[in-house]
Amino acid sequence: MTNEKLIINLPDVESTLKFGSALAVFFAKQKKFIPIFLNGDLGSGKTTFVRALVESLPGAQNAEVSSPSFNILNIYPTKPQVEHFDLYRLEGQTPDDDFFDLLNNKKSLTVVEWIQYLRLEFWPENALLFTWKPAASGRTIELTLHGSATSLTEELFSFLKSFQ
């Protein structure tokens, strides 16, 4: 899987919701996780994706998904638990130690929007980077791996190839 890049085409909101739901099915079966980093412009579909992901996990009936732009972090009581960060308001600042503790917690699924505001030196050893880009119809997500391949990332890439 060396330097593998996967392009996911999302022509509309419905496909973004379907993509988030499909990933929820995948992650609900896992025992360990690596962070998901979302990089993209305002309005690109990042929070819509997170909403579909969280609302498709067991326990979602107790989760009210919204962008954590003002409080930086929302924790959703799903299985697995989802920690949803938004770093937009932290541009140029380093998050606190609690952020890094949660970022390195392999027992919960951590999703970070606006990852471009976190200096690369602070990124964990492994992460999945979803770069949201506008397309002629909707958007595309360029999925790349930061770090080295693991059995989880190999399985995820295989799963996502079948999603297309």
Q: What is the structure's pLDDT at 2?
A: 47
Query: How far apart are the C-alpha atoms of 154 and 150, rounded to whole Å?
Result: 6
pLDDT band per the 50, 70, 90 thresholds, residue 87: confident
- Dump pLDDT digits (tens) for 112-160: 988 988 888 888 888 899 999 988 888 899 998 888 777 778 888 888 8
pLDDT band per the 50, 70, 90 thresholds, residue 70: low
Q: What is the structure's pLDDT at 59?
A: 85
Write down the pTM of the prediction.
Answer: 0.86
The CATH number, out of the four listed (3.40.190.10, 1.10.10.10, 2.40.40.20, 3.40.50.300), of the domain defined by the range 5-163? 3.40.50.300
Contacts 24+ apart (CB under 8 A), 75-79: 78/54, 79/28
Q: Which of 152, 163, 146 minimizes the C-alpha distance to 3?
A: 146
Query: How far apart are the C-alpha atoms of 84 and 47, rounded to whole Å?
Result: 9
